[in-house]
Structure 1
Amino acid sequence: MTITRLADLADPAKTPRLVVKVGSALLVGKDGQPNRAWLEALCEEIAQARKRGQQVIVVSSGAIALGAAKLGLARGGRSNLADAQAAAAVGQIALAGLWSQLLGKCGLTAAQLLVTLEDLDDRRRYLNAAATIGKLLQAGAVPVINENDSVATEEIRFGDNDRLAARAAQAARADAVVLLSDIDGLYDRDPADPDARMLPLVEGVTRDIHDMATGGSSSGLGSGGMTSKLQAAEIAERAGIVLAIINGTHVRPFERAFQHDRGTLFLPRRNDGALKSWLGGRQRMKGVLVVDTGCAKALAKGGSLLATGITLIEGDFRRGDPVAVRDAQGRALGQGLVEYDADEIARIKGYRSEELQALLGYSPRSAVIHRDQLVLL
């Protein structure tokens, strides 16, 4: 059954598994204290979804904001990385306790999962996380996922929980993701503009859609903005997952959005399968391969990346590492897992397949990146 409107996200036949992302600005007030009444109502909505037969996964921000208030740190604990990590270490306890208590009042068991970008970029750890989420849902628990900000460095951070929610949805094989925002959805320009128009439906995130977004977080508490939400929609759509943005500032936000059909629904144009959706959602690449025009055209038609089309190599990587593929103008074409080390590719780039054995000293592999290990962006 196909999801075509926001109300379908409350239909267990169309959306049996749902991911809900809650941002810091909704969960924590300006005084650094949790918005308990709002959160209690949200937990009641989660419990209602469970009674309808839906499984729910929560991706929750708020640890840094809660911890910063307890420690008396400036700028909500975001002045520097050390402050953020210290605030998160304190706030994670408070956040987990809050979800456990309030979901418990609704008869639900909360389970905490703390992850870093590295956890979901590594294939084995990604599969382990997926198995854990699956077991928790099978056991009737509500997984509450957050970035492990107390140990994550700038190099291994998601940076916002919008993209984490999309990656968690991929791992959980969810049907849809709902991002609770401080506005009703995606507008065609700055929402402060009186002529701004909200888009109720988006079929695939294009360059024109990205141009509508702004990158900042209006609250000052979170780290995301509309740009990060569009990036999350792109990650979700690679796995055929629907994503919605609705206004979370109202009490019982799901009830309001579904009854009044108020929000933006992103419908995927593709479904890359488990491996390719994981690969396409990776944020860190070990290197870059620049290709010529002929190679770019062959990739667009579903071909593998061959040595003859490579013009430039960047980075130090090994066989099996993820690398980005770009054209001569620097535009991102795709990303995939390479079949050769960087120094080997440096020796064979620009050469035809029949010439590679003499250059390498062994029988060459079928491609530098096979089409089965390559996802187009």
Structure 2
Amino acid sequence: MSQTIVVKVGTSSLTQPQTGQLALSTIAKLVETLTHLRSSGHGIVLVTSGAVGVGCARLGLKSRPQTMALKQAVAAVGQGRLMRIYDDFFTSLQQPIAQILLSRRDFIQRSCYVNAYGTFRELLQLGVIPIVNENDTVAVEELKFGDNDTLSALVASLIQADWLFLLTDVDRLYSADPRQVPDAQPITLVNSMEHLAELQIQTGESGSQWGTGGMVTKISAARIATNAGVRTVITEGRYPESIEKILQGEPLGTQFEPQPRTENARKRWIAHSLVPVGKLYLDHGAVAAICQAGKSLLAAGITAIEGEFHASEAVQLCDGSGLEIARGLVNYSSTELQKIRGRKSEDIPMILGYGGAETVVHRDNLVLSN
């Protein structure tokens, strides 16, 4: 059965840990595996790190740049070289590829999001393997993904993938870092993120010298992807042939079971692609109306507001304890909401001096959090 598969490979898998030079044998195995999957009828997307690492090696830098400007310059040097290497390997197997550079803005702006979906769909139908990376050379700090684990999860959500493979430098998720804790317990299956919390996982915050990701970012990516209905796997990048074995049912790596997928494309976009810029705290009645009755949010149910935002931006809806229960697109700015929170809808025109929407967040623009 044809499936859509997103594979994310990290810098730690693409490079030699001591030197930062590319691990060409690993790249060759990865290319061979992905080409075979593509020729078997699957749709394949590769999300690759490595531009900064390759740029560092090309320029003779001994460590990863710390300033934004230097990192962007190094990424500009490395990205072309990285794509040249991928193109050489894939061309040797007659597999066409495409480069797609994405920024967070491409997911936040609805028109860009829809266009990106259309581009991926056409490339996959043409039998092309899109190779995706963050557009490091132009990204600004507040609109960065932060790591390619998050980017890969958002891409998997965007194209409604069946699988997301996160290739890393360990063979699966453990109860603690097995390089530091010899008796750390392997975890093969995670039924839900609540189950993961029960396992009391201890995760390292950072990745390798040359990379930005750690296990924390992979678990966060798995949360995004599984909430979007994508089965997610953490497995070792040095053995990319494991991808085919896992697809055939072998119990390798750690698998995260997907949650039921919403078929509403707009709500998927709200749930997984937008960056909330504020919080609305709700009373018990509003929480019940939204979570149990599927109703819109009215001004009367808002007890407090956090952050500064404009109308049509994304916000988190939280209960009294601060737990996110939903997120959605707000019909009023934070300034307006400070004036009308806790008030009835019919009072809004008199308070603001003009007529506005009856709802603060309409149910069509609202998605419940898991």
Normalised by the length of structure 1, the TM-score is 0.89
Deviations 1:220-271 (A, max 9, x none): 2211112211211221123211111111123633256557421111112232
* Pairing 1:316–2:308 present: yes
Alignment of 1:62-211 (within 5 A): 62-75=50-63, 77-191=64-178, 192-206=180-194, 208=197, 211=200
Determine whether 1:269 maps to 2:259: yes
> Which of 234, 238, 259 is 1:245 aligned to?
234
Out of 275, 287, 295, the residue aligned to residue 286 of structure 2 is 295
User: 1:213: how far off?
Assistant: 4.6
Distance 2:215 2:295 in 1: 34
Q: Are the aligned partners of 1:42 and 1:253 in contact in 2 as well (CA < 8 Å)?
A: no
- How far off its partner does 1:82 sit? 2.0
Q: How many residues align?
A: 363
Question: Which residue of structure 2 lines up, in the alignment, with residue 223 of structure 1?
Answer: 212
Instruction: Quote how far apart the aligned CAs of 1:283 are.
Output: 5.4
- Contact 1:47/1:108 (CA < 8 Å) preserved in 2? yes
1:179 shift after superposition = 0.6
Q: Secondary structure at the match of 1:196?
A: coil
Aligned to 1:350: 342
Moved more, 53-62 or 243-252: 243-252
% identical equivalent positions: 39
Distance 1:230 1:254, change over 3 A: same
Moved more, 100-109 or 213-222: 213-222
Aligned-partner SS, 2:123: helix
**Offset at residue 363 of structure 1 (A):** 4.9
Cα distance between partner residues in 1 of 2:58 and 2:235: 30
Moved more, 190-199 or 337-346: 190-199
- Which consecutive residues of structure 1, in runs of 5 or more, have no partner in the other structure? 1-12
Shift in Å at residue 310 of structure 1?
A: 0.8
**1:234 aligned residue:** 223
Structure 2: unaligned runs, 5 residues or longer: none
TM-score by length of 2: 0.91
Within 2, Cα distance between the matches of 1:347 and 1:360?
A: 8
Whole-Å Cα distance in 1 between the matches of residues 148 and 199 of structure 2?
19
SS at match of 1:250: coil
| Root mean square deviation, CA, Å | 2.1
* C-alpha displacement of 1:48: 1.1
Q: How far, CA to CA, are the matches of 2:199 and 2:312 in structure 1? A: 31
Q: Please, which moves more after superposition, 305-314 or 279-288? A: 279-288
Q: Which moved more, 1:340-349 or 1:132-141?
A: 340-349
User: More deviation in 331-340 or 252-261?
Assistant: 252-261
Checking the alignment, whether the CA contact within 8 Å between 1:318 and 1:342 is kept in structure 2 is yes
Q: In the alignment, which residue of structure 2 is the partner of 1:281? A: 272
CA distance in 2, matches of 1:239, 1:258: 19
Q: Is the 8 A contact 1:279 1:336 kept in 2?
A: yes
Q: 2:163 & 2:135 partners in 1: Cα distance? A: 23
Distance 1:233 1:360, change over 3 A: same
Structure 2: how far apart are the matches of 1:298 and 1:280? 19
Structure 1 distance, partners of 2:102, 2:155, is 10
Q: Deviations over 1:70-107 (max 9, x none)?
A: 112242x3322222111100000011111111111111
Residue 146 of structure 1 aligns to a residue whose secondary structure is strand
Quote how far apart the aligned CAs of 1:296 are: 2.5
